[in-house]
Structure 1
Amino acid sequence: MEQLSEKSVKPLMANPEHIALHHYNIANEKEEVEDVIEIDDGLDCSLYSTPSVGLSDTVDEKKKRMDSYIKDVAKDCKRNIKQYLKFHEDEAREFRIEYTEKIITVFQQWNLNIKEIGDEEEKLSDAFYQQQKTFKKVRMLQNHTLKGIKHENEEYLKGLENLEDGRLLNNVRTEIKKQMSVLKKKIAGS
């Protein structure tokens, strides 16, 4: 801002109704004149005996201190915001790493469980086929034994029928008689 000369200050002091407010824009980091406010405080500036150059220096000095203060505050705010963001970014990164590790662990365990289930299924399948083969062999043996029992039963029933009819007994008696007569002939002939 250019230095105000004594002549340029007097007209301002003579008419204190117009004061420019300076606004510091933090985003763009530059000073802007925001608005002109009209003030009517009824003061007569001609009564003041302070030299206008001294007032200008004081205003400039206060403005520089204010600018410096605002810049420091803005720097502090930026630093605090950066620290806050860094802290939360670090937390988010840690969370993502932890989450990823947990997901990887879960998927590894899942794959291991699927492999174990596949192995168990294969074992059960083998055991099932072995039992099926054994069952077929047992069934074949049972069928064979059942056929033998059925055949023996049929022979037994035939023999019973023959006994009941007396034919077998008659046949046995006839056979015994024949053998006895043969034996008698051998005994008599000797």
Structure 2
Amino acid sequence: MPVYTTAENSKESQTYEERHYPESKWVSTKVVGMVHKDARSTGFRRLFKYIQGANEPSEKVEMTAPVATKIVPGAGPNCESTFTVSFFIPPENAENPPKPTDPDVFIETWPAQTIYAKQFGGSPKDDEYVSHAQELAQELSDKNINQNYWFTAGYDSPFKMFNRRNEVWYVKDDKANNTQ
């Protein structure tokens, strides 16, 4: 799991955390589609093959949490969205991660960033993710966030029945503070 530090929350009523993440490496794949669950499943299968050895030098890589999915919504209500599903690359592999053999899988570096995270339980359906993301966006109305995309994050195996950890994220938009 990526390390982060948590900012002091100023209001007891906040239902989110402000987290500061250092630069990190992720293995990712993009899926274009209409349904979050289907895109996440397709992406997960591609990435699972990578960690099982579909890489050069055909070595297994530790499964990590969370499975993060970046969602860039389509232009309209019936347009396809772009889903980028990502697995965190653990520090022991981050310096020189195995090269993916699937052309749809790639290694990327996430910059150091501030993420606002809202946590919830259960096995959410697509509309529940959207509902939590909308709630978080409303709570962050006084913050500078990038509203062009948002993330879902799942921390548990699909076989875990209770005390599941899910999150939605927005990234702080530091550029919004710049006056150029």
TM-score interval (norm. to shorter): under 0.3
Of Structure 1 and Structure 2, the greater strand share is in 2
- Structure with larger Rg: 1
Compare relative contact order (CA 8 Å, sep 6+) and give the higher one, 1 or 2.
2
More helix by share: 1
Query: Please, what TM-score do these two structures have when normalized by structure 1?
Result: 0.17
